[in-house]
Amino acid sequence: MGPPGAGKGTQGELLAKHMGVPRLSTGEMLREARANRTELGRRAQAYMDQGDLVPDEVVLGLVAEAVDGARSQEGFVLDGFPRTIAQAEGLSDILEARGAQIDGVIFLEVPEEELVRRITGRSANESRTDDDPETVRRRLQVYRAETEPVIRWYADHDVRLIEADGVGSIDEIQRGLRRLLDS
Ligand code: AMP
């Protein structure tokens, strides 16, 4: 977990590779559905373009499917999910029904000025349609209102919360993350 621009995708991918498990990214699943112009992708598009969250039941459906697809493996890294308390509750149900549980929640900490600088500075090949300054502001606002409370929710539900420093080079951040996970 972490605000937009915290590096969840980059760090999640490296961590998943390191652990030999798949990374399940709801943002990527949604962008793919959109690019393939599926019914679900069309439904998600308007929300994504505004910097708003796609409805919980849509995202939960995608995650349940992805978890089933990844079941033969030794777990997975979830990236950018859950983003609301309803999603956190839905995830608990999905995992419980499959005899699994969350090992830990990693929170990537990055100060706000650094986030805006990073997102608006993404070079052309990595920039996204939701990276314009106004949409970025909206995504940050949605994050504070909907996603930040999820961290507290996990703390209240005795889930191990790992707070990692999200500032530094990609390698430094990844090394710090692995150290925290090993300890
Ligand atoms: P991301 O790549 O994780 O930043 O996600 C890009 C966009 O996809 C977000 O701004 C949302 O519109 C949508 N999205 C991704 N994950 C979720 C989620 N867990 N819940 C709702 N919307 C999501």
Q: What is the mean pLDDT of residues 95-122?
A: 89
For residue 13, pLDDT beyond 80 = yes
Residue 141: the pLDDT is: 95
Residue 133: the pLDDT is: 82
Q: What angle do CA 139, 19, 25 make, to 5 degrees?
A: 25
Would you say the CB of residue 146 lies under 6 angstroms from ligand 1? Answer: no
Residue 113: the pLDDT is: 85
* 103 or 129, which is more confident: 103
Question: Is residue 155 within 8 Å of 45, Cβ to Cβ?
Answer: no
CA of 168 to the centre of ligand 1 (A): 24
- What atom in ligand 1 is closest to the CA of residue 26? 16
- Give, for ligand 1, the residue of 45, 53, 62, 141 to mutate: max count of ligand atoms closer than 8 Å to Cβ: 53
Question: Is residue 90 within 8 Å of 82, Cβ to Cβ?
Answer: yes
For residue 90, pLDDT beyond 90 = yes
CA of 97 to the centre of ligand 1 (A): 24
For residue 42, pLDDT beyond 90 = yes
Q: What is the mean pLDDT of residues 110-125?
A: 82
Sequential DSSP letters for the chain: ---TTS-HHHHHHHHHHHHT--EEEHHHHHHHHHHTT-HHHHHHHHHHHHTPPPPHHHHHHHHHHHHHHTTTSS--EEES---SHHHHHHHHHHHHHTT-----EEEEE--HHHHHHHHHT--TTT--TT-SHHHHHHHHHHIIIIIHHHHHHHHHTT--EEEEE--S-HHHHHHHHHHHHH-
Q: Quickly name the fold that domain 8-182 has.
A: Rossmann fold (3.40.50)
* 143 or 123, which is more confident: 143
Residue 72: the pLDDT is: 62
Q: What is the mean pLDDT of residues 46-53?
A: 94
Domain ranges of the chain: 8-182
In the structure, what pLDDT confidence band is assigned to residue 118 with cuts at 50, 70 and 90? confident
Protein residue with its CA nearest to atom 5 in ligand 1: 27
CA of 174 to the centre of ligand 1 (A): 22
Location of structure tokens 């990537």: 108
Location of structure tokens 């493996």: 73
Would you say the CB of residue 83 lies under 6 angstroms from ligand 1? Answer: yes
The set of catalytic residues is 8, 83, 122, 128, 139
In the structure, what pLDDT confidence band is assigned to residue 109 with cuts at 50, 70 and 90? very high
How far apart are the C-alpha atoms of 8 and 39, rounded to whole Å?
27
